[in-house]
Amino acid sequence: MTRFVHPATEDITLSGVLSALADPNRLKIVQGLIGQKEVMNCAAAAPCPDMAKSTLSNHFRVLREAGLIRTTKKGVEHQNTVREADLNARFPGLLKTILKHVDG
């Protein structure tokens, strides 16, 4: 059984969040997930449909370990949501501000 590591809200660091979002593909993944009412699986959130699964899995791991997303497993599918409430509790308005200034 896969066990995902999610940092506690108080353990989310500014440097970790900014480092994770510094990669354009990870930034696009978060943009695709933000505001979704339903959880999204990894394939649906992928910024490039041609990206290797191992590369995509690595991007999701980095986002998860930085505290940006929460991943749960339902059957064989990994479902992801942005931890907006946790991020806003730790760094009010940071994610919204970053996403507001992204081109595209």
- DSSP for 75-99 reads TTEEEEEE-HHHHHHHSTTHHHHHH
> Token pair 């990894």 is at which residue?
42
- Residues 74-94 as b/e (b if ≥16 CB within 10 A, e otherwise) read eeeebbbbbbeebbeebbeee
Domain presence at residue 66: yes
pLDDT 10s digits, 22-51: 999 999 999 988 867 666 666 665 667 788
**pLDDT score for 43:** 63
Mean of per-residue pLDDT scores for the chain:
88
Task: State percent of the chain over pLDDT 90.
Answer: 59
Q: For 85-100, what is the mean pLDDT?
A: 96
Q: Which domain holds residue 90?
A: 9-96
Domain assignment present for residue 4? The answer is: no
**Does residue 104 form part of some domain?**
no
Which pLDDT belongs to residue 25?
Answer: 92
| Residue 26: inside a domain | yes
How many domains is the chain built from?
1
Report the pLDDT value the prediction gives residue 2, as an integer from 0 to 100. 66
| Domain containing residue 42: CATH number | 1.10.10.10
